[in-house]
Amino acid sequence: MARNVARAINPPSHPGSYNRSFLSASPLAEAAIARDLADYAGAVITDDEEEEESDSSTVRPINNGESLHSLAGSYRRPSFIASTSRGTVVPHHLEPERLSHREREQIFEEERRLLSDNHIIRTDHAPDASAGLQHKISGLFSSRKGSVSASDASSGIHGDQRNRTAVTETTSLLGAENHRAVEEEIDRKWEEAVVAGLIQTSWRREAQVIGTYAAPLMLTFVLQYSLTVSSVFAIGRLGTKELGAVSLASMTANITGYAVYQGLATSLDTLCAQAYGSGKKKLVGLQLQRMVYFLWLSTIPIALTWFFADHILLKIIPDREVAVLAGQYLKIVLLGTPGYACFESGKRYVQAQGLFSASLYVLIFCAPLNALMNWLFVWKFEWGYIGAPIAVAITDTLLPICLFLYVYFVAGSECWNGFTWRALHNWGPMIRLALPGLMMIEAECLAFEILTLASSYLGTGPLAAQSILSTVSSLTFQIPFPLSIAGSTRIANLIGATLVGAAKTSAKVSMSGAVIVGVFNMILLSALRSYIPRLFTSDEEVVGLVAQVLPLCAAFQLFDALAANCNGIFRGLGRQEIGGYVQLFCYYAVAMPISFGTTFGLGWGLPGLWSGVAIALGLVSLIESIFLSQVDWQRSVDEAITRNAMA
C-alpha cells in the first residue's frame, strides 16, 4: 500500500547494475537503512552473496535512468493482501519498489506485446511461455539479415535498423552479448515509439491484462477470507447465541489484535523493500526479525485484553451468555497469535522479493485444511463451540510454518542469514513508521466492526443476523477489490511509461469490469436472499432477518464495486489520498450517524444499520467519480518522469 520519492540509497556502480537506486518517501526509513548498511559493511559477506551480487549485474536494467518511458517507471506489483475484510479506506503510500527478475521479464514481455499490437515489431512465431525470456524474444524482428518490415518502414523511426545486425530465429541467443543486444534493440524501439506517440492500446488488450492480474488475486482473497467464513459456517448451526458470540469475538479480535499486527507490520512494506533495494539482501531478514520480536512484545497487552475479554464485554454487551462465549473464543484463539504475528511479518519478507505467489500457495493449503478442521472439531469430534477457535489457533500457527517451508525449499532464503543480536537494536525508526499504519488500519477496521457491536443491543437474533450479513457482504467484496488492484497495477505501469491515452483506456476497462462484477453480486444476493442465510443457520428468526436485509446489501453492491475501483484508479495515479479521505469522511461522518439514527432513533432495527452503509457507499462512488472526471492525469505522468529522471 504506499508511495513517493526522495534521495537514492546506495546507487549502482554501473548502468547495468541490478542494484538500481531506490527512492524513498520516508527519511525515517532512509536513516534506518543507512545505519543498517553501515553495520552491514563491517559484517562478513559470504562467497555465495558476492557471487549473487555479481550475477545480478547481468539482469536487464529497468528504471535506471536509461529508459525514461519504461512500464516500470511507476511500477505496482499486481498483488496485495487485504489488511482487513474491506481493505479500501487506508490512504497510505507505496514506495517505489525494487523489481525481481521475474517482474522484469513480465514488464519486458508487456512492452514487447504493445510494440507488436502497434505493428512496430514483428512476431512471426508465437513465443513459448515456458521457454524463458531468451526464447520469448526470438523472432521479434525480420528473419532476413538487415531487412526491415513494412511497419518499420512506415513508422519512420527505425531507419537505422538496416545498419544493424538483425536477430532471427536462427541467431544464437545463448550468449550474453546477443541477449543484451536484443533487449537494447527493443528498449530503443520502445523509447522511440513512446516519444513518437505510436503506442496505443485496445479494450481487448487491457481486459486481457487486467483479467490475468485479477484472477489469482481473487483466489487469494477468497481463500484468505474463508478462514473467517469457516468458523461462522461451523458454529452457525449450533444456535443463535453461538453465532452471535463468534461474530462478537471476531470483531473484538480484529480491533484489538489482528488489526494491531497488520498495522504495525505495514512498516515492513517500506523497510523490507528498501533493504532489498539497497542491494544487501540479508538486511531483509534483519528487518523481519525485528518486526517479529516487536509483534511478540506487542502480544503481551493483546493477550491480557483477550484473556479478560469476557469481563470487559460483560460491561458493554447486554447479553451475558454471548459475552462469556465470546471471551471463551478469544482465550483459545490467543494461542495462535504468535504464529499470526510471524505470518504477517513473513508476508512482507517474501513480498519485498516479489514472491507474491508464496502467500497464495500457503493459503491454497491452509484454507481448505482450516475448513476441514472446523467441521471435524465442531461436528465430527463433537467438541462444539470451542472446536472453531481451536481450528483458528492451529491454522494461525500453521501459516508461518508453511511460509517458512516455501522459503526454505522454493524461494526467498537468499535474504535470510540466520538469527542475530542486531535485530534487538535500531527499533526506533521501525516503530515510528509502524504507528501511522496502525492508526489507519484501526480506523478502517472500526468503520464496519462497530456495526456488529451496535447490533448486540438489538438482541441475540439481530446479532446473529449481523454476523451472516457482514460475512456475506465481505465475501462478495473479495471480487471487486482484487479487480481494483489489478486495474491500479496496470494504470500505474502505463502512467510510468507516460502513456496517458492507454492509461485512460485501462481505467475505462477497469470501471466496466467493476460494473459487471457489481451487477453480478447484486443479482446473486437478490436471487438467493432466501437460501443464503440457511447455509449459516436453521433459526427461522435469524433467517427472516437476513432475508429482510439482504436486498439492501444487494442494492449497494454496485456502489461497493465502483467505490473500490475508483480507489484503484486513484492508487494507480498516485492520488490515493483522495479516495482514502473521501471514504473516511463518508464512513464516519455519514454512515455512522445515519446508521445509529435510523436504528435506535427511528427504530428501524437491523435494516437501519445497513442503510447508513448503503448511503455512504453510494456517496463515495459519486464523489470519487466526480474527482476522477476532473483529475489531472498529466500531473501523474510528470511525477513519473521526475522519478525516472532521478533513478
pLDDT at position 220 over 90 = no
Q: Which cell is 514 given?
A: 467493476
Q: Residues near 306 by Cβ (< 8 Å), separated by ≥ 6?
A: 252, 253, 256, 257, 330, 331, 333, 334
Residue 149 banded pLDDT, cuts 50, 70, 90: very low
pLDDT at position 504 over 50 = yes
pLDDT at position 597 over 90 = yes
Return the closest-CA partner of residue 561 out of 493, 505, 513.
Answer: 513
pLDDT at 15 (0 to 100): 31
pLDDT at 448 (0 to 100): 76
Give the three-class secondary structure for 577: helix
Distance CA(90)–CA(75), nearest Å, equals: 20
Residue 446 banded pLDDT, cuts 50, 70, 90: confident
Cα four-point dihedral sign 240, 85, 472, 550: positive
The proportion of the chain whose per-residue pLDDT surpasses 90, expressed as a percent, equals 38
pLDDT at 132 (0 to 100): 41
Give the three-class secondary structure for 626: helix
CB burial class (10 A; 0-12, 13-18, 19+) of residue 419? exposed
Distance CA(486)–CA(79), nearest Å, equals: 8
pLDDT at position 631 over 70 = yes
Q: How confident is the model over 158-171, as a mean pLDDT?
A: 40
pLDDT at 488 (0 to 100): 86
Query: Among 232-246, 302-316, 345-359, 533-547, which stretch is predicted with the lowest mean pLDDT?
Result: 345-359
pLDDT at position 248 over 60 = yes
Query: Among 156-170, 337-351, 457-471, which stretch is predicted with the lowest mean pLDDT?
Result: 156-170
Q: Residues near 642 by Cβ (< 8 Å), separated by ≥ 6?
A: 5
Adjacent-strand bridge partners of 22: 9
Q: Which cell is 314 given?
A: 460483560
Distance CA(522)–CA(146), nearest Å, equals: 58
pLDDT at 634 (0 to 100): 86
Q: Which residue has the higher pLDDT, 135 or 505?
A: 505
Return the closest-CA partner of residue 628 out of 471, 489, 503, 485.
Answer: 503
pLDDT at 285 (0 to 100): 92
pLDDT at position 273 over 90 = no
Residue 105 banded pLDDT, cuts 50, 70, 90: confident
Q: Which residue has the higher pLDDT, 512 or 63?
A: 512
Q: Which residue has the higher pLDDT, 107 or 32?
A: 107
Adjacent-strand bridge partners of 9: 22
Q: How confident is the model over 346-373, as a mean pLDDT?
A: 90
pLDDT at 217 (0 to 100): 85
pLDDT at position 162 over 50 = no
Residue 548 banded pLDDT, cuts 50, 70, 90: very high
Q: Which cell is 506 given?
A: 485501462
pLDDT at position 174 over 60 = no
Q: Any idea which residue has 488489526 for its cell?
A: 259
**What is the distance in angstroms between the CA of the first residue and the CA of the last residue of the chain?**
21
Q: How confident is the model over 91-107, as a mean pLDDT?
A: 61
Q: Which cell is 319 given?
A: 447479553
Distance CA(551)–CA(555), nearest Å, equals: 6
Return the closest-CA partner of residue 77 out of 256, 249, 216, 259.
Answer: 216
Residue 207 banded pLDDT, cuts 50, 70, 90: very high
Residue 116 banded pLDDT, cuts 50, 70, 90: confident
pLDDT at 435 (0 to 100): 84
Distance CA(279)–CA(141), nearest Å, equals: 35
Q: Which residue has the higher pLDDT, 614 or 78?
A: 614
Residue 22 banded pLDDT, cuts 50, 70, 90: very low
Give the three-class secondary structure for 22: strand
Q: Residues near 545 by Cβ (< 8 Å), separated by ≥ 6?
A: 461, 462, 465, 606
Q: Residues near 335 by Cβ (< 8 Å), separated by ≥ 6?
A: 393, 397
Cβ-contact 486, 626 below 8 angstroms: no
Return the closest-CA partner of residue 44 out of 420, 426, 404.
Answer: 420
Q: ∠180-183-188 over CA atoms, to 5°?
A: 125
pLDDT at position 10 over 70 = no
Q: What is the mean pLDDT of the chain?
A: 78
Cβ-contact 265, 125 below 8 angstroms: no
Give, in order, the Cα–Cα distances in Å from 438 to each of 138, 224, 255, 423.
49, 21, 11, 21
Q: Which residue has the higher pLDDT, 218 or 143?
A: 218
Cβ-contact 455, 186 below 8 angstroms: no
pLDDT at position 353 over 80 = yes
Give, in order, the Cα–Cα distances in Å from 156 to each of 112, 120, 160, 523.
19, 10, 10, 52
Q: Any idea which residue has 448451526 for its cell?
A: 237
Give, in order, the Cα–Cα distances in Å from 482 to each of 172, 216, 592.
41, 9, 26
Q: Which residue has the higher pLDDT, 54 or 636?
A: 636
Q: Which residue has the higher pLDDT, 169 or 313?
A: 313
Cα four-point dihedral sign 452, 454, 457, 462: negative
pLDDT at position 459 over 60 = yes
pLDDT at position 326 over 90 = yes
pLDDT at 33 (0 to 100): 67
pLDDT at 579 (0 to 100): 79
The proportion of the chain whose per-residue pLDDT surpasses 70, expressed as a percent, equals 74
Give the three-class secondary structure for 9: strand
pLDDT at position 253 over 50 = yes
pLDDT at position 372 over 90 = yes
pLDDT at 614 (0 to 100): 92
